[in-house]
Copies of this chain bind each other. A is one copy, B any other.
Amino acid sequence: MLPILSAQETEKIKRRLMERANTDYSQQQKIVDEILQDIRENGNRALFSYIRKFDGFDVNEKNLLVTEAELEEAFRMVEPELLAIMREAAVNIEEFHKRQRRENWFIEQDGKYIGQLYIPVEYAGVYVPGGKAAYPSSVLMNIIPAKCAGVKNIFVATPAQGGKIDPVTVAAAKIAGAHRIYKMGGAQAIAAFAYGTESIPCMDKITGPGNIYVALAKKSVYGQAGIDMIAGPSEVLILADETANERFIAADFLSQAEHDELAACVLVTVSEQKAHEVRTEILRQAETLPKKEIVMKSLENYGTIIVADTIEQAVEAANHIAPEHLEICTGDPQALLPKIQNAGSIFLGEFAPEPLGDYFAGTNHVLPTNGTARFSSPLNVDDFQKKSSVIYYSREEFEKVYRKVQTFAKAEGLEAHARSAAIRFED
């Protein structure tokens, strides 16, 4: 457990982490395909029958939606302290995501302009899993970017066992700015969002985490609606030098490991002594964790310590692995920032542990996992809007260039394109 390896092993470690995503889900895919087709063809009738079957809830067109009374009841049931913290976190998240907005712009010259518009999607559907543990932080993280993008219809879907909603989930959704909450879950909820039913409009974008059925359904409906990334097993990489505090690092390591047996924790350090100290601390602290069993499996399978010769080599290893979370615990963490090429979220110094970003600081905790930080981004406002290009040319301006358009089109063998340019100046 927790082998201490050299930086030469980085590629092997990376491959091992990426293998976490290789599972054959063809059995589950078949079930999902049936549900999707059924709801696409039969709308509410099919949706309601799945809800009755899976959630034991005698649903109809009226009780499908969470009511104002249920909402008020939910707020009464949640601890006031937790409500206050969720509200404060929501403010921080909103402040960060507002900064991601962009203004329409135009490049204007004489009688012509080209430009770009940013238009929010009309309908965003946010999925919130049910089950034993509720993750209200994830509700905030999915809804607030949509709200900041200017989406007018943010609709939540969450399963309600026996028709009973989870009060914390519902309160978080309302705090974040959801406009409606549907009591539905699983692949059937994704199908209803993608295709619409008599009671539910088609969503343009569907986001949010879920079990494998939800993930497969999202993948399948892509094209019919936009989706966020499909979250894979998550990971943290901690970059540390000899100045780092081994107790803090060990605690952060373990906070990642408790998520999931597939969660991966990697320490990259330039100090062999620190490597050993952290290792000892991890094993010591793990002893008293309630989720010790999950933690130990994660550590056994994917917990890794790399000792690099130089800090440059350590950074290279981090960039190669492209972690979801990157903690930089070195004497001067800011100095390394310009060298970071691939990381979802970067935590600088000893007082910015991953949970600060998970819950409170304002950045998004929906992050690219499993090496996809090489090319993808945290969930953000851009995910809930699209760009449109605009072109305007006056007659005079187009007259100056239409022959070039014509020549280019002919060079590509597209005569009708050439004529479309030329016909404007034929009489």
8 tightest A-B CB contacts, nearest first = A226-B375, A363-B389, A351-B398, A377-B387, A348-B392, A255-B420, A258-B416, A345-B389
Query: Which B residues touch A89, using CB under 8 A?
Result: 404, 408
Asked if A401 contacts B251 (CB within 8 A), the reply is no
> Chain A, 136-170, contact with B by CB distance < 8 Å: what is the 0/1 string?
11000000000000000000000000000000100
CA distance A257 to B417 in the complex (A): 10
Say how far A13's CB is from chain B's closest CB, in angstroms: 16
Asked if A416 contacts B295 (CB within 8 A), the reply is yes
Query: Which B residues touch A363, using CB under 8 A?
Result: 114, 389-391
Which of A85, A295, A390, A415: most chain B CB closer than 10 A? Answer: A390
Query: Which B residues touch A82, using CB under 8 A?
Result: 407-408, 411
- New A-B contacts (20) at CB < 8 Å, excluding given A251-B419, A351-B424: A82-B407, A86-B408, A117-B340, A119-B341, A168-B411, A254-B420, A258-B416, A290-B415, A345-B391, A346-B391, A348-B391, A351-B393, A353-B424, A355-B409, A356-B405, A361-B391, A361-B393, A363-B390, A377-B386, A382-B382
Asked if A100 contacts B114 (CB within 8 A), the reply is no
The residues of A with any CB-CB pair to B shorter than 8 Å are 21, 79, 81-82, 85-86, 88-89, 95-96, 99-100, 102, 105, 107, 112, 114, 116-117, 119, 121-122, 133-137, 168, 204-205, 223, 225-226, 247-248, 251-252, 254-255, 257-259, 285, 289-291, 295, 333-334, 337, 340-364, 367-368, 370, 372-378, 380, 382, 386-395, 397-399, 401-402, 404-405, 407-409, 411-421, 423-424
Asked if B407 contacts A358 (CB within 8 A), the reply is no
CA distance A344 to B390 in the complex (A): 9
5 A-B contacts (beta carbon < 8 Å): A117-B346, A251-B416, A255-B417, A355-B420, A356-B421
Query: Which B residues touch A414, using CB under 8 A?
Result: 255, 258-259, 355
Partner of A107 from B99, B289, B341 at Cβ < 8 Å: B99
Asked if B119 contacts A96 (CB within 8 A), the reply is no
Partner of A88 from B137, B378, B404 at Cβ < 8 Å: B404
Query: Which B residues touch A350, using CB under 8 A?
Result: 395, 424
